[in-house]
Every structure is written in structure tokens, then in C-alpha cells.
Chain A
Amino acid sequence: GAGVSQSPRYKVAKRGQDVALRCDPISGHVSLFWYQQALGQGPEFLTYFQNEAQLDKSGLPSDRFFAERPEGSVSTLKIQRTQQEDSAVYLCASSLGSAQETQYFGPGTRLLVL
């Protein structure tokens, strides 16, 4: 079966541009997570959805970051007025929903802000 997919895989943006990153979770997975991974570091939590409800956005680094999951499946992470420090890999993960469950990760979107 299909895993978690993300698009685009690579994105180059000029500083100040807005970008939108898409995540298609595994069908039927209730929970969806976004993480940010800087070069050479482990992923860091950004935000969490349970179905369409955004239950935790404590990891979003600024109000330029916005995420949505309007129908409880596909999610979009939007970054407004991108800055160079936003350059990172953005990973999406989904799980069935229980705290005991494994999270399944997509391949990530590599964002480079020039």
C-alpha cells in the first residue's frame, strides 16, 4: 500500500517568497505530524493534527508558519515571507492515532531559501 507522500520533494525559494508544502498521509491515519530537520540534526516537532483539528502547534517557530488539514486527510504547511533560516527538510508523518503507535514518515521536502 502507499506510504506517506510529500510534494514537492525540492523547493528553492527567494527570501520573502511564500511556499506551500503538501503531505498525503496513509489512508485512514488519524494523526498527522510535521517536523523540521536542519542539516545534521534530528527532526524537531512543528505541529500535530488529529483528523482536521490542530491540537498542538507549539513547535511552529513563528507566525509565518501556518498548517492546515481541512478535511482530515491531506495537510499543507505554509511558510510566509521565507527567511534563510527556514532552509531545512520538512518531514510529515502519520499514525493510526494511539500514543502507542509507530509514526510513518514521508520522504520530506527539502526547502532552500536563497
Chain B
Amino acid sequence: KQEVTQIPAALSVPEGENLVLNCSFTDSAIYNLQWFRQDPGKGLTSLLLIQSSQREQTSGRLNASLDKSSGRSTLYIAASQPGDSATYLCAVPKAAGNKLTFGGGTRVLVKP
């Protein structure tokens, strides 16, 4: 059974610092890995999707890497801003279908 873990559970940084969020998964047979953002009381917004054949994906200040063999992904957010404060979740589709298994999330606070 796939298990996804995110460490740390919470992170607080001053504005301008780079953020590093970690995601690990136990079963390397994944189709892709997705990073989402969730604001309080809101649904999930997709940030990046990395195909299983890719090593990284970039969008603006966001960069996500994927190492399937070690079961890890890292989301980097450069030059953090207070508007980046949210919970960040990683998720992988089950190999036999595309329902997502989520990590518990990392709650990020960027202080001005």
C-alpha cells in the first residue's frame, strides 16, 4: 500500500527566504507526482505535475524534483512571499488507477 509522508508538518520563514518542502513515498511505481496548494477553507490548486519519466518541473518561482528510485520529491519555492503562506500537499496516483494518495501536507507561514 502506497504511503506518502511530508516533513516537516509546519514551517515558518521570513519573507525572501527560499522554501524547501519534502515528500517521500514508499512505492516507486508511480505514474506521476503532483504538488498542490491549499488555502484555509478552500479546495486544492494544482501547482506542478511531474511525469514519472521526468526529473524536475518548473513554473515561475516553483521548482519540483523527482527521484523515483529513492521515493522522494522536493518542492522549492524561491524568494518566498507572504502570499505563499498555505498548506502544500504532494500526491501520487496509485499504479493501477489514478486515484491520488496524499501526504499529510506542510503548513507554511511566510512572515513579512
Cα–Cα distance between A25 and B42 once the two chains are bound (Å): 16
Which range contains the number of A residues in contact with the other chain?
20 to 34
Name the prevailing secondary structure of the B interface residues.
strand
B89 within 8 A of A: yes
Kindly identify, within residues 55 to 86 of chain A, every residue whose CB is under 8 Å from any CB belonging to chain B.
55-56, 59
Taking CB atoms, residues of chain A closer than 8 Å to B100 are 33, 35, 43, 45, 103
Question: Can you list 12 A-B contacts with CB-CB less than 8 angstroms, sorted by A residue number?
Answer: A35-B100, A42-B6, A45-B99, A56-B99, A59-B99, A93-B44, A99-B32, A99-B98, A100-B31, A101-B98, A103-B46, A105-B36
Chain A residues, Cβ within 8 Å of B105: 41-42
B104 in the interface, Cβ–Cβ < 8 Å?
yes
Evaluate contact between A107 and B42: CB separation under 8 angstroms. yes
Task: Please report the C-alpha to C-alpha distance between residue A108 and residue B39 in the assembled complex, in whole angstroms.
Answer: 12
Given contacts A42-B104, A99-B31, A99-B93, contact A105 B98 (CB under 8 A): no
- Is the C-beta of A17 less than 8 angstroms from some C-beta in chain B? no
